[in-house]
Structure 1
């Protein structure tokens, strides 16, 4: 590989060719300019390139066909498309077809330079496929399992890590969606930049705009100084929007604008601030159903869901359970500074028969509790606590029972009832606290306070 990277430019407008060529030259990138698809194909057959920039409209076809050809025949070559201003549909279609990223006309030089810089970072590992290998040390250390579902997930992560397209990570609560997001970030060209996770269900609606976009001094009561938002904190890296379905509709509109314009306006600010951030999002809900119900905007759904990455539940990959248990026990032993305990055959059988509605998170909690209960270096079946919802004697769920006639004070009895109600709601909602709070008719913050007060963590 030569010391200087090479880029292929495909555009039939002389002014654009000159602008792109000059920008690349100033970044010490050699370039080859071509005016149509036929010329571009000859150049691709004749030499090696580290980046391709192509217009969508060409004299003998469109840039989409070139994107598809490169995706099929040169998967290691990042290709970015140049779209007409405001043509969101074309940009999204290109990303779905495998484009690395896009830039709109008139070309913003700062945005273009950021795109080129990110794309060329892939060149540093272009001949090293370890990060994309589904059996790589990095991927396997984060996502344990040899089931077909997990191998496929690791392969998909390796593929999407090279792109800048938005990814929607879907799956039940407790499956490890944030782990998947972090692996996408760490396997891609933004690995050295920040990874900023945001729980959209945990930020009060009235503070969300300030949290995401920042604010200016004096813009509201308590704003005693300028403050950067989370988008700016993730500059050059990845912003992970966890439980994105919890975003209020008004906030969805503002987020859509940021995604389209690639800039933010702090609360109380007058100027737009450019941001270079890749957006990954996750939800345990079916976003398509939320769109149909009018709870989530269709336009932002299509912008976030360019690539969907489903994470399998633990029930779908039960053959991974023994390996997962070993890894979790090893991590817990290290954290607790103790020898790693063994798991008896009866204890393993008990775990294998459980449906795990809370997935890997539930398994971790059960094993941590089992370690504290076990006597010696082995966990027995009796140490595995599987809680089942308590049913009233008459079978009517949720009906109030009188305190037992055992001298228990009423406050203690009520606290026990509250603890049971919260535990039942958490289990029913697969340990998603946002959903459990809604079920119980309280805010997320109220539920979090009650969980801490009742020692339910």
Structure 2
């Protein structure tokens, strides 16, 4: 996980020695010789973790704990003192200090303390992203079609080996659900699953979303922002509609994947990462390569395993099982008690070609359950474009 440690200490040798040790461990390090410098750095959002000396030329270090008490997501603060004042240590811990170390600092203890602080930082990053995206965990419904069983077998192998995966298929066919299946069934299951829709973000902002940026990197960048690739460290990064990614950002993504490291926009420190990339496209990348809109080297880097999810019209045998899944799902969400679907309604669902694929089927069942008066979904409860496919009496 890429983390920046802010060392607030007026002793140049202490900052340099600790900085060299932490840099060798893969951390980015910034220094401050005064309380004022450290305070300014915190306000800019530069730091993930703070090492804070107690005695500083312009004030008492622990005062920073009180000043930042109301700060949303205050970085973990580790106090360093030469005095070993137990009362002060207890007071500091009560006021939110993450840990307390005495000089001379034992580097192995420092490393352990920062690793524990890193766990807090990683948890916060993931929770912040989940709050924003409100992602829902859906199981992958295979159904009875042989083609989907083959897709699932390959997906399982890709999950176990933690390799890059390229998923192709029409819009709404379940590419993200398959990506979540890969995440849930591999060694990264306990780590983040971060999804980014490349088509939904302006090209000018996509690089910043992926890699993050440092304060002052561009106009309006007042505080440092953690990129989604960094948030996904140790887990899975799902790049949906990757065909929409500009060619210059494709080059930067390829470099990051090959080097397992990247720089934030406006930054100089290399951030080491370990992510499994699952990319998805509803457009033929081979055609885009010929047109010069997609890099061939990135294409082959992504498609270590190539999975194609067929449209629902080619796997209609799976519709009954999908309908059952959605009824159970929406019963829980809506507080309904729908337990059945009439033969005519199911026949209409099977006859319809579903241009919007599984997403459209899900929406149709959700709507039907809202209009359903009893325990059984009837033909009249379905959307008109679906119900009119039923054979007339």
Structure 1-normalised TM-score? 0.53
Query: Among 224, 227, 243, which residue is 1:226 paired with?
Result: 224
Query: Among 303, 306, 311, which residue is 2:304 paired with?
Result: 306
For 2:207 and 2:265, the matched residues in 1 are separated by: 7
1:241 is displaced (CA, Å) by: 0.3
Helix, strand or coil at the partner of 1:207 = helix
CA RMSD in angstroms, aligned pairs only: 1.7
- Could you list the per-position Cα deviations for residues 263-302 of structure 1 after superposition, in whole angstroms to 9, with x for gaps in the alignment? 1111110121111111110011111111112221112111
1:213 is displaced (CA, Å) by: 0.6
- Report what 2:168 is aligned to: 170
- Inter-CA distance 278–141: structure 2 relative to 1 (3 Å threshold): closer
After TM superposition, the structure 1 = structure 2 runs for residues 243-392 of structure 1, keeping only pairs within 5 Å, are: 243-387=241-385
1:386 is displaced (CA, Å) by: 3.9
Aligned pair 1:195/2:193, yes or no? yes
Unaligned runs of 5+ in 2: 1-137, 387-393
- Report what 1:160 is aligned to: 158
Helix, strand or coil at the partner of 1:142 = coil
Helix, strand or coil at the partner of 2:333 = helix
Query: Among 142, 145, 148, which residue is 2:143 paired with?
Result: 145
Structure 2-normalised TM-score? 0.61
Contact 2:237 2:276 in 1 (8 A): yes
For 1:372 and 1:190, the matched residues in 2 are separated by: 37
1:141 is displaced (CA, Å) by: 4.5
Helix, strand or coil at the partner of 2:221 = coil
Contact 1:143 1:150 in 2 (8 A): no
- Report what 2:238 is aligned to: 240
- Report what 2:3 is aligned to: none
Aligned pair 1:186/2:151, yes or no? no
1:377 is displaced (CA, Å) by: 2.1
Helix, strand or coil at the partner of 2:385 = coil
- Could you list the per-position Cα deviations for residues 18-71 of structure 1 after superposition, in whole angstroms to 9, with x for gaps in the alignment? xxxxxxxxxxxxxxxxxxxxxxxxxxxxxxxxxxxxxxxxxxxxxxxxxxxxxx
- Report what 2:207 is aligned to: 209
Say which structure, 1 or 2, has more relative contact order (CA 8 Å, 6+ apart): 2
Helix, strand or coil at the partner of 1:279 = strand
- Report what 1:451 is aligned to: none
For 1:387 and 1:147, the matched residues in 2 are separated by: 25
- Inter-CA distance 386–294: structure 2 relative to 1 (3 Å threshold): farther
Contact 2:338 2:369 in 1 (8 A): no
For 2:201 and 2:338, the matched residues in 1 are separated by: 38
- Could you list the per-position Cα deviations for residues 78-110 of structure 1 after superposition, in whole angstroms to 9, with x for gaps in the alignment? xxxxxxxxxxxxxxxxxxxxxxxxxxxxxxxxx
Helix, strand or coil at the partner of 2:210 = helix
Contact 1:341 1:371 in 2 (8 A): no
- Could you list the per-position Cα deviations for residues 298-353 of structure 1 after superposition, in whole angstroms to 9, with x for gaps in the alignment? 12111112210111221221111111111111111111011024211111111111
Helix, strand or coil at the partner of 1:309 = strand
For 1:338 and 1:369, the matched residues in 2 are separated by: 12
- Could you list the per-position Cα deviations for residues 165-205 of structure 1 after superposition, in whole angstroms to 9, with x for gaps in the alignment? 21101111111111111111111111111111111111111
For 1:150 and 1:387, the matched residues in 2 are separated by: 27
1:150 is displaced (CA, Å) by: 1.9
- Report what 2:95 is aligned to: none
- Could you list the per-position Cα deviations for residues 193-230 of structure 1 after superposition, in whole angstroms to 9, with x for gaps in the alignment? 11111111111111111111111111112211122111
Helix, strand or coil at the partner of 1:145 = coil
- Inter-CA distance 141–273: structure 2 relative to 1 (3 Å threshold): closer
For 1:153 and 1:256, the matched residues in 2 are separated by: 26
1:255 is displaced (CA, Å) by: 1.0
Contact 2:217 2:266 in 1 (8 A): yes
Helix, strand or coil at the partner of 1:191 = coil
For 1:370 and 1:164, the matched residues in 2 are separated by: 39
Helix, strand or coil at the partner of 1:387 = helix
Unaligned runs of 5+ in 1: 1-139, 389-457
- Inter-CA distance 252–386: structure 2 relative to 1 (3 Å threshold): farther
1:144 is displaced (CA, Å) by: 3.5
